[in-house]
Structure 1
Amino acid sequence: MEAAILRLDLVDPLISGNKWFKLKHHLAAAEQAGARGVISLGGAHSNHLHALAAAGKRFGFATVGLVRGHAVETPTVLDLQAFGMELHWLGYAGYRARHDADFWLPWRERYPHLFPVPEGGGGLAGAMGCAEIVEQARSQLGVLGWEDYDCWWLACGTGTTLAGLVLAEAGQHAVIGAMAVPEGHGVESNVDALLREGSRPCAKWTTEISEYADPAKSSCLKSRPPYSLLDASLGAFAKTDAQLLDFIRSCERESGIPFEPIYTGKALLALKQSVQEGRFAIGTRLIFIHSGGLQGRRSTDVAADLRVSPPT
């Protein structure tokens, strides 16, 4: 098989990876609503909050972050503050309440001039922004000498990016998501909800990867839009082990491409293991999405393990 990496980490040094695509329609909606800024949620290492705060500083709008846990200083948090984002620490119980129907009421009363954006830039607006990734990739196929491809492979946190790809593909090519969280954390239900809301018929295809990655069965792909999810979490979100870190180091030495261990590193390791298990048909052409998130590598433990320096 052949695999090509779509380097979304190169889109922008700060509004990086898939985050710009997720934010694009949310920010347009905020502007249309006459909002003076945006309020959203995330953790102390959140790629989403980092991109949002950077966008606010660059384009001149206010940003407020509702942060999981209790106040800590991480490289990400220091950046958020430097970018001018106002932070509120919710604790862990308070953050778990983010799905409650009345969660946003006090925050909208406190910040009536701000536009609320879902955690991670999710929702249909985030998915529709990510749908544009498909056209970006297709426009570059000629550089590879490819006329077509068979499937996508990407890391999944909430499944928003995957849902956008599935909507854009409309059944033409399979989309495979390597989950950064264990099964049962709501990725599948979120994807299905976004696909229903996106007003296009879609059904999860639960057959083996080799069945829908086989170019000889492309006619099936056009009759129903397939996607599949597999657990690449190593048992917990943000969990790492020696095998994963060694794999990332090896990939970086060979390719010169940086990866991080929470999303892209785990997704790439899961892809390698699937290839070794013979789960892809000979001749399969696959697009791997590098979704960015490199700023999160700066946490103390990960930086020490991968020997990385903070980006300039």
Structure 2
Amino acid sequence: MIQPQQQSFNQKIEVSNNFGIEVYVKREDVLHNEISGNKFRKLKYNLLEAQKLGFVKLLTFGGAYSNHIAAVAAAGKEFGFETIGVIRGDELVDKYLENPTLKKASENGMQFEFVTRTQYRDKNNATFLNQLEEKFGDFYLIPEGGTNDLAVKGCKEILTDNDKMFDFICCAVGTGGTISGIINSSYEHQKVLGFPALKGDFLFQDIQKYAENGQWNLVTDYHFGGYAKINDELKQFMKQFFKKYLITLDPVYTSKLFFGVINLISKGYFKPNSKILIIHTGGLQGLQSNIAEI
């Protein structure tokens, strides 16, 4: 059985405002110590499918500080799969143990294939995948970031019937899989807002591949300069947020999400007396190096 260590729950936080707005946090970060938040959701049905098809190896792609790489390695150890991580950057081959994410993934049994950035761009190329299969044997392929139809199915389970009371559902966006699942399980009266950690509008098209229905939009003003970029203002926000609520945020995704939602509340963006649910998707392993990747 692919089960979390703990069920998520909704925690109310007091956000000062003059609009009667209530804010809750869905604590998906507590699902598992290492297979954190949305990564557990994305992997659940992929692991079940791999088991069903008889695969014993998982292969996936990621950068040196990837939450996804860390989660796949931990999932392989816990649920009995060999794991292979194709890592962007061949300069890491002799010094990956200096990297906290890769060191932990290695300790969890992951085997690495370090490739150049040029080679890495071929991660969806059939010829490149065939070469990997020749080298490693049969494997179950999980895409970079974990997003596919089965991942979206898992992310649909983030919202439950108890969340019907909320008017707005807010979440961080990386590859678009998590928000797609949330959109697909949201109610007609709810609006889903995604806060991308990356610059650019390409995510709209990516999400439209999976989003079946619902009202949604992306708020693109809170990426703080781009992916994995962080400044003193955001660092200070993370510290103050933890001091006030005892909730840890990561520097790449959730800190920008919570900063954005609270800032929008202060600007009167949300209708008065709204109830807002913010999804805490975990990814806290990135704090080890003050940077994280999809």
Per the shorter chain, which TM-score range? 0.7 to 0.9
- What percent of counterpart residues are identical? 31
CA distance in 1, matches of 2:54, 2:242: 44
Asked if structure 1 preserves the Cα contact closer than 8 Å seen for 2:27 and 2:281, the reply is yes
Q: Which runs of 5+ in 2 are unaligned?
A: 1-20
Match of 1:66 in 2: 86
Match of 2:208 in 1: 192
**Which residue type is aligned with residue 95 of structure 1?**
Y
Secondary structure, aligned partner of 1:194: coil
Deviations 1:72-96 (A, max 9, x none): 4311110011001001111212222
CA distance in 1, matches of 2:217, 2:286: 26
Asked if structure 1 preserves the Cα contact closer than 8 Å seen for 2:191 and 2:216, the reply is yes
- CA shift at 1:33, angstroms? 1.3
Kindly tell me the number of residue pairs found equivalent between the two proteins. Answer: 266
- CA shift at 1:271, angstroms? 0.9
Match of 1:162 in 2: 179
Match of 1:268 in 2: 258
- CA shift at 1:41, angstroms? 0.8
Deviations 1:3-25 (A, max 9, x none): 10011111111111111110011
**Which residue type is aligned with residue 89 of structure 1?**
F
- CA shift at 1:32, angstroms? 1.4
CA distance in 2, matches of 1:270, 1:95: 32
CA distance in 2, matches of 1:155, 1:37: 30
Secondary structure, aligned partner of 2:209: helix
Whether 1:183 and 2:200 are equivalent positions in the alignment is: yes
Which of 53, 78, 83 does residue 108 from structure 2 map onto? 83
Which of 44, 49, 72 does residue 29 from structure 1 map onto? 49
| More helix as a share of residues | 1
- CA shift at 1:172, angstroms? 4.1
RMSD (Å) for aligned C-alpha atoms:
1.7
CA distance in 1, matches of 2:190, 2:147: 23
Match of 2:146 in 1: 121
Secondary structure, aligned partner of 2:240: helix
Q: Do the aligned partners of residues 229 and 103 (structure 1) sit closer, same or farther apart at CA in structure 2, a change above 3 Å counting?
A: farther
- CA shift at 1:174, angstroms? 1.2
- CA shift at 1:97, angstroms? 2.3
Match of 1:57 in 2: 77
For normalisation by structure 1, the TM-score amounts to 0.81
Whether 1:226 and 2:226 are equivalent positions in the alignment is: no
Match of 1:212 in 2: none
- CA shift at 1:170, angstroms? 5.6
**Which residue type is aligned with residue 57 of structure 2?**
G
**Which residue type is aligned with residue 207 of structure 2?**
V
Q: Do the aligned partners of residues 48 and 302 (structure 1) sit closer, same or farther apart at CA in structure 2, a change above 3 Å counting?
A: closer
**Which residue type is aligned with residue 146 of structure 2?**
G
